[in-house]
Amino acid sequence: MHQKKFRDESKTFIVEGTKSVLELLRSNLKVKALWSTENWAKTHKDNILSCHFNTLSLKEMERISTLKTPQESLAIVEIPVFSVCDIDNSAPLLILDAIRDPGNFGTIIRTADWFGITQILASPDTVELTNPKTIQASMGAFARVKIIYSDLAEYLTKRNDAPLFGTFMQGTPISQGNFSSNSMILIGNEANGISDTLLPFITEKISIPAHSHDTESLNASIATAIVLYEFRRNSETKC
């Protein structure tokens, strides 16, 4: 399961580390198996009663870990499957267009969770949720945020009940964005931005004003954090 093809075949993925594993055990995701050191098991015995559980030595954990520095716990989890039918149209929706870096994706999931965004729609060419680096960077938020993969243009063709804000280098400053409680926010690819095929669906282009002319752009996960902060601030001000 270190490799995507085997994760896809088994329909499972790996979760490692105390914070992520404990978040997992508190969620509705289905844990297929759990391994940990004896010390970890004793410390967290109240959390693992319902799991198929095994103890391993730290040396054995090193052999199955995806990390250079192995953690004391590792779980095998059934991949959750959601569709666009699971999207709540009354709630905000974060949309990701071809986010390729798993660290960025995981950080975006964690950031969305921080700002109370519970659903993310991702293009099929966005890096998979089950990538170990994505799971690690999300710090347990993957267990609370619903990730849906679907064709973005197809979805947006049918969705016209909410404004779609696209992030650009030039556009309305985000502090002036006319956000609503069910706004859709579109974040583009790290290198190429938002795909041309999605431009016709954008209600308003928004931008993060730069105070330096030497920096070309922001990291996708940092940009997402700033936009979501402003979205929440703007929405709460209207309430």
Buried b / exposed e over 73-109, threshold 16 CB at 10 Å, is bbbbbeebeeeeeebeeeebbbbbbbbebbbbbbbbb
Beta bridge partners of 193: 189
Domain 84-238, what fold? Alpha/beta knot (3.40.1280)
4-78 fold: 60s Ribosomal Protein L30; Chain: A; (3.30.1330)
Strand order in the sheet with 164-173: 146-149, 119-122, 93-96, 184-187, 164-173, 204-207
Give 126-164 pLDDT, tens digit per residue: 999 999 999 999 999 999 999 999 999 999 999 989 999
- Beta-carbon contacts of 197 under 8 Å, excluding residues fewer than 6 positions away, are 153
% of residues, the chain, pLDDT over 90: 82
Tell me 68's DSSP state: S
**Chain-wide mean pLDDT for the chain?**
93
> pTM surpassing 0.75?
yes
What digits encode the pLDDT tens for the residues 60-82? 999 999 988 889 999 999 999 99
* Domain residue limits, the chain: 4-78, 84-238
